[in-house]
Structure 1
Amino acid sequence: MEKLMNILTELKPDVDFETEKGLIDNAILDSFDIVQLIGQLQDTFDIEISPAEILPENFNSAEALWSMIQKLQ
């Protein structure tokens, strides 16, 4: 989870990823951010994120992202 938080903080340093639950719903992350994030997650965690996993519920919070990462590992 620490690696994920570091990636998110590098991407958007001004966002509190500990508490934010609407990264997609509140347009905090845009499509360019998502593309960058997917690449970094795949490289860092050695996972393959398919288009089927690119859903708002998987990207709305750090917890949701971590859950998806664990499922794919």
Structure 2
Amino acid sequence: FFGVTAEQSARSGLQTHAVGAGLREWHANGIVTYEISRNWSALASVTFARLQGDAASSPITERRQQWTTMGAVTYRFR
């Protein structure tokens, strides 16, 4: 996903980049759930992700880290 071959470099102008094995990224995630009633719940989640190694140093990479949030309301059928 993060490598750039010589052919791709010639077409795009990006530097060539070889990618090897290893840790690509890590995540930290937090989730909070609140039971509104017996059937209804609400939840919120926040995730922090950071690229590592070859993925982080790739010329394709625009940002090495990102935050993602999510909220949901769920209904439980019983």
Please give the range of the TM-score, normalised by the shorter of the 2 chains.
under 0.3
- In proportion to residue count, which structure has more strand? 2
Structure index of larger Rg: 2
- In proportion to residue count, which structure has more helix? 1
Q: TM-score, normalised by structure 1?
A: 0.23
Q: TM-score, normalised by structure 2?
A: 0.22
